[in-house]
Amino acid sequence: MGDIGITLLLVAALFVILGSGVWIGLTLSGVAWIGMQLFSSRPAGDAMAVTIWGSASSWTLTALPLFVWMGEILFRTRLSQDMFRGLAPWMQALPGRLLHVNVAGCAIFAAVSGSSAATCATIGKMSLLELKRRGYPEGISIGSLAGAGTLGLLIPPSIIMIVYGVTAEVSIAQLFIAGVLPGVMLALLFSGYLVVWALRNPQLVPPADARLSLGAKLKESRHLIPVIALIVAVLGSIYGGIATATEAAAIGVVGALAISGAQGSLTWQTFKDSLLGGTRLYCMIALILAGAAFLTLSMGYIGLPRHLAEWIATLGLTQWQLLAALALFYILLGCFLDGISMVVLTMGVILPTIQKAGIDPLWFGIFVVLVVEMAQITPPVGFNLFVLQGMTRREIGWIARVTMPFFWLMVLAVGLIYVFPQIVSFLPAQMRS
């Protein structure tokens, strides 16, 4: 059987097993076992045991459960209320007023969360009720929250960056710092759209609250101190060379526990809920990573990644054509799989292709995160859409429609980092020097 036949057989097996309801991690392992057993000479059982143990015992991966736990702890605090109180007075003068709290709040919480869904849910807990109470249109309120929630993937620390770093063997600290400027750029694009929307629809924007003096604004801003301190502790320790990503994650957990304790929300029940919630999410991710590691090994023995890279090279695609094709591929894949599954499932095949095309794996990591962000708000499996559907009880199609302008802003962001790759590479270059 030729390479095309083997590929079609394995892809068919993947979708059949997935469609039968088997967990993604077990599906990946099963397809890898089929490929290795049928098309290579190495015993599949031995390879599976060695690969899964090697994947599960990676020291680099220990940052992941700690960052997940940190986000779970903060999700159970009153951080969202405090952030709204601290940000709202400064947003009143901008066109669109308190709608910008969605963007600024998500950008700040993203810097201590790492999860898009957690960012969306945490900020939405407070902002949606407040915006509705003050008379802001529901469509733009929910759309801006769904779009801005995706910043949880791009602004470090990011769970999906850790996953990409482990699978692509790229420095996680370098990925983290590479995501800062693109994250800020995307937040500014979102806020810029809200300004344009408000200027075009001034009758839909409720009047400003009573004006506060500078002193009163600064007093309200004290509510931002805990989260800003945690951001400085976590990211500052990485960028300052004081701690590795794993050590910074441990600092983040201690800081999150301290904030929760100071706010009075740290009880035995919330501690236990956060620990169990973090454990469940990490176990799901770890199982997917283990299955993907075995699938990558299996495809390596069969030779599919090398043959695919050689075939793509014969097509004579330019870099931008290749990236456009990959972006479309990931957006379509995002209609069926979550972001982490998309990354670990495809990296074994995609990485040799992009390396052969001369694309920097660090830059490609940010590109992938941006494209996966788009998948977070595309039905039917857009995680942010599910989160907002649960919070608002609106139809998922309606939520996707009001979120569409922010999807196109992400497309613009991908174009900008392609035309100006320095947006990604500038800060990592400074860190190396």
pLDDT, tens only, 341-380? 778 777 877 888 888 888 999 999 999 999 988 887 887 6
My answer on whether omega of the bond before 89 falls inside 30° of 0, hence cis, is no
User: Is 282 within a domain?
Assistant: yes
Percentage of residues of the chain with pLDDT beyond 90: 20
Nearest to 311 by CA among 347, 350, 345, 353: 353
Q: Indicate whether 199 belongs to any domain.
A: yes
> Mean pLDDT lowest for which of 35-44, 181-190, 266-275?
35-44
Residue type at 114 in one-letter notation: G
Report pTM.
0.79
Q: Within a domain: residue 399? A: yes
Residue 124: name the closest of 109, 111, 135, 114 by CA: 109
Domain assignment present for 9: no
The tens digit of pLDDT for each residue in 242-291 reads: 888 788 889 989 998 998 898 888 889 989 998 998 888 788 778 877 88
The closest of 144, 151, 103 to 406, measured between CA atoms, is 144
Could you give the number of structural domains in the chain? 1
State the residue range of the domain holding 414: 55-432
Continuous H helices in 57-179: 63-75, 79-91, 99-113, 116-133, 138-149, 151-154, 159-168, 172-178
110 with 151: CB under 8 angstroms? Answer: yes
Q: Is residue 242 part of a domain?
A: yes
| pLDDT tens figures, 237-250 | 887 878 887 888 89
- Whether residue 352 is contained in a domain is answered as yes
7 in a structural domain: no
Predicted confidence at residue 1, as pLDDT, reads 54
Could you give the angle at which helices 245-263 and 63-75 cross, rounded to 10 degrees?
20
In a domain, 98, yes or no: yes
pLDDT-derived band at 425 (thresholds 50, 70, 90) equals very high
